Amino acid sequence: GNETYIMADGLYESAMKAAGIEEYEIVGELKGSEFEYMTAQHPFLDRQSLVIVGDHVTLESGTGCVHTAPGHGVEDYVVCRNYPEIPMIVPVDANGKLTEEAGQFNGLTTDQANKAIKENMEQSGALFASEMIQHKYPHCWRCKNPVLFRATEQWFCSIDKFKDKAVEAIHGVKWYPGWGEERIASMVRDRNDWCISRQRRWGVPIPIFYCKECGKEHISRRTIMYVSRRFREHGSDVWYNWDAAQLMPKGTKCKHCGGTEFTKEQDIMDVWFDSGVTHAAVCDERDYLTWPADLYLEGADQYRGWFQSSLLTAVAWKGAAPYKAVVTHGWVVDGKGEKMSKSLGNGIEPKEVVDKYGADILRLWVASSDYHSDVRISDDILKQMGEAYRKIRNTARYILGNLSDFDPDKDSVELKDMQELDLWALDKLNRLIRTCCDAYESFEFYQAYHAINRFCITDMSNFYLDVLKDRLYCDAADGKSRRAAQTTIFIILDALVRLIAPILAFTSDEIWRFMPHRSTDDARAVMLNDMPKAIAIDVDDEFIARWDRIHGIKEDVQKALEIARKNKTIGKSLEAAVVLYCEGELYDFAKSVEGSLAPVFIVSDVKVEKGKCDENECQTEGLGVSIRRPAGEKCERCWTYSASVGSCSEHPTLCARCAEVVKGQ
């Protein structure tokens, strides 16, 4: 025919093909901007429509000319705001039916109207072509049906006036993890005004009234505070149970027309506004609480939710953030990393974990996890937590068993009278205290857990407490050596129980009830005492380096002892005499500490010789280890092999040390 079509270059070929038109010619080319502000006749309504330009139009499909409905889409609404002459028409009501604005289609549902409008345009020749296309479209999360957008009158909070102040307040807050600071700052910088009204049956009312005479809204501080007092006295239900006159001060008049009769606002507050003002309703209203709050804790999705709504209301109200620190966490997933859901049947109830493993195992699992990302939980993981828990508990249990005759006020030994190994243990404790306190302060609980676990296993069970057995069991009960050992393990337990208290609340309380206390401590509960502080011990880097070196040599000796056991050369380690063959500077070092090595290695004798030995492979450079049977007889009390066994006629089966102890009892 003689029809002329306006289409985008790049789309006209596919559009003509979709319409089944094969013969056509291009009669001219114009820029899209040249059509701006022209008008087009509506295909089935008696009105003209303005032609506009917008970035939301693409060359993916269609003709390049798009019907734009500002009342039914965000992109359409935004582009039409650039054209004040375009009316805000919303031809669909709250029930999903077309209104009088839709002309002959008034009263139809949107599904019915789609079919009827298509038929009407086909009959009138206004429909060029039609086809079904697949595209992403929002659906209701509950009923799974498509969502229809409608532009409606709402109440907004203008953010622009205090947006910069809000961003400034963000930078004054401690964010854990640190990336949260820029995440929420960028959200606030880029956000639009806040729509604070919602169309729901019940919720916190918006205390606004409308004049029956002129329809204008009536908003005043006097009226809002009057409603607030009624809510305080009778509860918020009065908004629904009382009429407007009962909720307004007597004599209230419309400032526009002088009317005296009013109706109530039907919309409710956005629930994010409700939660966002808890800092005012909770912290500011109670004398025993402080504003701002010390900490806000929630999932990472709350940067867009509670964290932000709380920030905006606080900055608008007080010009400051409502929190000093914010911690965000990931989600709990199953052992395979899958999201927990009822349909998958992979959910784990906390009560089931508590009933099966105990509350402290659940608490330990929480503390052990790097919660900044998603956290896995399963029976296997909880069993591993049970093993870690037993290591900590057994450390405390062993120490408790060796403090039954120890009164810290009477029996404690001064630091200057302690052995080097005791000072080494206290230095390790100091490091633990600093690590844990820093971790708690920065909410990195998993770092505290790992430090405690490592301390109990590596420093205590595998080394110090193992070495200490001889002094605790065999030295004189009230002698300085044993009392120094007891003083050290008391200090360790006293600090350890306080450090684990935030995590293992029940276990720490149980330990506290059974352990001895200083007169300055509150014996009622561990939670009533302060966190431990580092002990002032006089150790330097050289001291630490020396004992780290001894520790390294001990590891090589233990490997050699294990091989000797397998070869049936020895049974227990006290059945061994160790010869250290050292080269170079290592010889001088080993010789300087030779006298203290036997109890550290838990063997009967240690000799240091200059030279090489290839009997056992060693990690320590220049070291060789040889395991031999010790000289002398076995002391039946301490089990150490010594030439001094039998030197005391009164106790012929004891070594000299044990004989002295027994005689002094």
pLDDT tens figures, 456-503: 999 999 999 999 999 999 999 999 999 999 999 999 999 999 999 999
pLDDT tens figures, 182-224: 999 999 999 989 999 998 888 899 999 999 999 999 999 999 9
Q: Do 160-329 and 12-124 have the same topology in CATH?
A: no
At residue 1, does pLDDT exceed 70?
Answer: no
Average pLDDT over residues 326-337: 87
pLDDT tens figures, 219-277: 999 999 999 999 999 998 999 999 999 999 999 999 999 999 999 999 999 999 999 99
The pLDDT value given to residue 153? 87
pLDDT tens figures, 301-326: 999 999 999 999 999 999 999 999 99
pLDDT tens figures, 501-551: 999 999 999 999 999 999 999 999 999 999 999 999 989 999 999 999 999
Is pLDDT larger for residue 621 or for residue 133? 621
Average pLDDT over residues 408-424: 95
CATH class of 160-329: alpha beta
pLDDT tens figures, 33-66: 898 899 999 999 988 999 989 888 888 888 888 8
Superfamily per CATH, domain 569-631:
Class I aminoacyl-tRNA synthetases (RS) (3.30.2320.20)
403 vs 482: CA distance, rounded Å: 11
Q: 48-50 and 39-41 as β-strands: parallel, antiparallel, unpaired?
A: antiparallel
Superfamily per CATH, domain 12-124:
Valyl/Leucyl/Isoleucyl-tRNA synthetase, editing domain (3.90.740.10)
- Give which of 432, 409, 420, 413 is closest to 493, Cα–Cα: 432
The pLDDT value given to residue 455? 97
pTM for the whole thing?
A: 0.77
Domain ranges in the chain are 12-124, 160-329, 381-528, 569-631
Average pLDDT over residues 92-106: 90
Asked whether the beta carbons of 371 and 446 are under 8 A apart, the reply is yes
The pLDDT value given to residue 364? 96
381-528: in CATH 1.10.730.20: yes
Q: How far is CA 208 from CA 175, 245, 249, in A?
A: 37, 12, 13
Q: Residue 514: is it exposed, middle or buried by C-beta count within 10 angstroms (0-12/13-18/19+)? A: exposed
At residue 347, does pLDDT exceed 80?
Answer: no
Collect all residues with Cβ–Cβ distance below 8 Å to 19 and sequence separation of at least 6.
Answer: 128, 129
The lowest-confidence range among 275-279, 334-338, 407-411, 616-620 is 334-338
- Give which of 499, 565, 545 is closest to 526, Cα–Cα: 499
Asked whether the beta carbons of 515 and 493 are under 8 A apart, the reply is yes
Report residue 131's pLDDT band, with 50, 70 and 90 as the boundaries. confident
**66 is written with which tokens?**
């798009």
How far does the chain reach from its first CA to its final CA, in angstroms? 124
Asked whether the beta carbons of 163 and 188 are under 8 A apart, the reply is yes
